[in-house]
Amino acid sequence: MSPLAVLAAIPSPSWSAFHLGPLTIHAYALCILLGIVVCLWLTSRRWAAAGEEPDTLWDIAYVAIPLGLVGARLYHVLITAPEDYFGPGRNPWDALKIWEGGIGIMGAISCGALGAWIACRRLGLSLTKFADAAAPGILLAQGIGRWGNWFNQELFGKPTTLPWGLEIDPTSYNFPHQYPPGTLFHPTFLYESLWDVLGALLLLWISRRGLLKLGQTFWAYVAYYGFGRLMIELFLRIDHSQELLGLRIHVWTAGLLVVLGLIMLGVYGRRPPQDRDERPDAGTQGHTLENAGTPR
């Protein structure tokens, strides 16, 4: 390995938690929490700029966020790595230890959307309009949350000699011992984080210019995120995963997001140009998401 690669490598943190008295604070949980806060902030600005009552955002969030977190954990426990919790010598109660890492964004998207649907239906709000408002913030939250994988030294990619290779502690549980100590790995957490942040900025730019119809912003997010995740899963990830027909299960779920997102983009794109909101009382000038692409 060249000296340049070693000097330029990305180090992994030597800690993943700290203590405040009897309380243990996990960096992984802080990354998730920070992502949620940023998502709520951005969504609240877009929701209000679209002419909606700001307080209704919190009514939706109280349902969507907990369900999203539950779905994220269930996806990991039941689909990604069930043998870690239900295999021989394993403790099923460890499935509750979300702070140790292990959530699936695919589960968060599906169950979070279910929670938003329940809340919007109860409140008489447009789910489609809310999803458009939330999409950029969700991508930002995902980009921030990915840094939790860095603190936990997990979910990295194949070995690399690139100068931004990621160092992993060879004594770590997650270090793949088929490789010698000192091996550098692709920092897939960083790739996905940058992809998500770029996508959020792109959605804000496109939305502000009124290039998308009602519903298309959310489904553009779904297709965009799915494509980036698909590339990482197909070509870079080496951590254990359940497989289906010889492919990682995440390849199938990411591919499904891409296909579904593109189909729904087409469906919503067939709407008449003037159809910018399915609620007639919220479609006036200055109160559409197309005019509220970025916070003012």
Report the C-alpha gap between 296 and 294 in whole angstroms: 6
- With a CB cutoff of 8 Å and minimum separation 6, the contacts of 192 are 142, 143, 146, 228, 229, 232
Q: 3-class SS at 17?
A: strand
Q: Are 229 and 250 in contact (CB under 8 A)?
A: yes
Q: Would you give the DSSP letter of residue 76? A: I
Indicate the residue type of 212.
Answer: L
Distance CA 288, CA 281 (A): 11
CA 244 to chain CA centroid, Å, is 23
Unique residue bearing structure tokens 């800690």: 15
146 belongs to an annotated ligand binding site: yes
State how far the Cα of 270 lies from the Cα of 109, in Å rounded to an integer: 25
Choose among 126, 124, 141: nearest CA to 43.
141
Which segments are annotated as binding site?
146
